[in-house]
Amino acid sequence: MFKLIKIIAQRLGLGLFVLFVISIIIAGGVELLPGDICQELQGQAATKETVDACRRELGLDKPVYHRYFIWLGDMLRGDFGVSLANGRQIAELIGDRALNTFFLAIYAAVIAVPLSLTLGLLAALYRNSIYDRAVNIVTLSSISFPEFFVAYILIIVFSVNLGWFPSLSNVSPETTLAVKLYKAFLPALTLTLVVVAHMMRMTRASIINLLASPYIEMANLKGMTRRHIILKHALPNAWAPIVNVIVINLAYLIVGVVVVEVVFVYPGLGQLIVDSVQKRDIPVVQACCVIFAATYIILNLTADILSIVTNPRLLHPR
């Protein structure tokens, strides 16, 4: 138990260091954006004196490192700051949008994970069959296309031609769960088609590798049923790499929603970060990026810890 706690503490420390490095990259990256919020607010007819006065009022005249450490100190206290575009508290601004983004990611995961495990398990059992080849072709084709292309194809088919689902996922806090599930189906399906191939192929490869193991051959010689061998012997031992790839894809579902949210005009963090970049609202961009980075790091650490816990060779190295 102590060794496991030590491993978790080391991973958490590494994750905090990575997040600190990412925060520096984010702060430096937003500084490279051309123009600033004052030029956006004042317009093209603004004089240099007016723009300079606006920058002094908003604190943009201070050096980059000074603004970074002020921002970092506020973030450590849980204060995301104030939006430069509208003066609202950023925590209030991103609250509902963060919930929408996490809802969309969970929605896609609920569809993608069972589908991937089922397709991968069947592909392993019927290896090199027509079903196996057809599933591989379809899933690899879906992951090969850009997300926006898949999204527009789904809109043309299910919104324009069939009229089954809306092309705009304009949900709000007052939207009921049933309506939200209906409006967010196409964005969730887009994300599902993007990640299902990776999880399916990992499941397939893990099961095929284990089916060639000596203890599986012994179970076959003992006359155990195929279903019993798969569920009781193969699948539990294949769980470690499968869980690892599932958690990593869950991280992608959360941080990879930017393009999908923009296409479907879904009110999440991805849409907010695009709008904030256009307005040069740097504090909002930084806050959204930190949330994405922290979520990705936490889920990757979770995958790392789960792979260690489920693998005795990693948990008790010689």
Q: Which domains does the chain have, with CATH numbers?
A: 100-270 (1.10.3720.10)
Distance between CA atoms of 163 and 190, rounded to whole angstroms?
17
What 3 state SS string does the chain have? Answer: CHHHHHHHHHHHHHHHHHHHHHHHHHHHHHHCCCCCHHHHHHCCCCCHHHHHHHHHHHCCCCCHHHHHHHHHHHHHCCCCCECCCCCCEHHHHHHHHHHHHHHHHHHHHHHHHHHHHHHHHHHHHCCCCHHHHHHHHHHHHHHHCCHHHHHHHHHHHHHHHCCCCCCCCCCCCCCCHHHHHHHCHHHHHHHHHHHHHHHHHHHHHHHHHHHCCHHHHHHHHCCCCHHHHHHHHHHHHHHHHHHHHHHHHHHHHHHCCHHHHHHHCCCCHHHHHHHHHHHCCHHHHHHHHHHHHHHHHHHHHHHHHHHHHCCHHHHCCC
Q: Are 272 and 97 in contact (CB under 8 A)?
A: yes
**pLDDT tens by residue, the chain, 318 residues:** 566 677 778 778 888 888 888 888 877 777 776 666 666 666 666 666 676 676 676 666 677 777 777 777 777 777 777 777 777 787 887 878 888 888 888 888 888 888 888 888 788 777 778 887 888 788 777 777 777 888 888 888 888 888 888 888 888 778 888 888 888 888 888 888 888 877 887 778 777 777 777 777 777 777 777 667 776 766 666 666 677 777 777 777 777 777 888 888 888 888 888 887 777 777 788 888 888 888 888 887 777 777 666 655 555 555
Q: What percent of the chain has pLDDT above 70?
A: 81
According to the model, what pLDDT value does residue 314 have?
56
Q: What percent of the chain has pLDDT above 90?
A: 0
Angle among Cα 296, 115, 306 to the nearest 5 degrees reads 40
pTM for the model stands at 0.76
Evaluated on CA atoms 305, 308, 311, 312, the torsion sign reads: negative
Beta bridge partners of residue 82, listed in sequence order: 89
Task: Count Cβ atoms below 10 Å from residue 25 Cβ, excluding itself.
Answer: 11
According to the model, what pLDDT value does residue 283 have?
79
Task: Count Cβ atoms below 10 Å from residue 140 Cβ, excluding itself.
Answer: 13
According to the model, what pLDDT value does residue 43 have?
60
According to the model, what pLDDT value does residue 42 have?
60
Tell me the pLDDT of the chain averaged across its residues. 77
